[in-house]
Amino acid sequence: MDWLGLGVTIFGVAFLILSIILIKPLLNLARVLSNLQKTTNKLPEQVEELTNQAADTLSTGHETLHEVNKQVKELTPIFHMVGGASRAANAASSSMVNAVMSVQNSSTEGNVFTNKHHLEGIYGLATIAYYAIKQSKKQPAADNPK
């Protein structure tokens, strides 16, 4: 053999050894690529399922929002009535406050007169007598039911 044949034989044996060493990693790579192919084949079905679920969820949310809007429209007149009643109660309470303030101002003048002439005891006695008379009138009515 000449040198050229000897070199080609050495390269051939080296490639044969390299191929034998790389068989196991190449088989593992083939198995991984096969599993990857199986996974990617299922992907379109899974994406379609997810989009269907998202569409169903959005549809349900839209229906719920529509129902809430409908119920709010039904309750709006009630809220307006409650607002009107609260405004009327506010007006009544402010007129009562005005009346109480006017009575308080007029009674302040009476208090000055009472203090000036030392009549507090007499007014206290008159108040107690008035209260006792009112209670005695209420009691017989409660004792004699009709």
Q: How many residues does the chain have?
A: 146
Q: In Å, how far are 7, 8, 10, 23, 68 from 14, measured between CA atoms?
A: 11, 10, 6, 14, 79
Tracing tokens 């000055």 back to the chain, one arrives at 112
The predicted structure's pLDDT at residue 32: 95
Task: Look over the chain and give the mean of its residue pLDDT values, rounded to a whole number.
Answer: 82
Taking residues 135-141, report their average pLDDT.
Answer: 70
The predicted structure's pLDDT at residue 121: 65
How far apart, in whole angstroms, are the C-alpha atoms of residue 111 and residue 118?
10
The region of weakest confidence among 73-77, 88-92, 124-128 is 124-128
Taking residues 15-33, report their average pLDDT.
Answer: 94
Question: At 16, is the pLDDT very low, low, confident or very high (cuts 50, 70, 90)?
Answer: very high
pLDDT over 70 (residue 143): no
The predicted structure's pLDDT at residue 4: 82
The predicted structure's pLDDT at residue 87: 87
Taking residues 121-143, report their average pLDDT.
Answer: 70
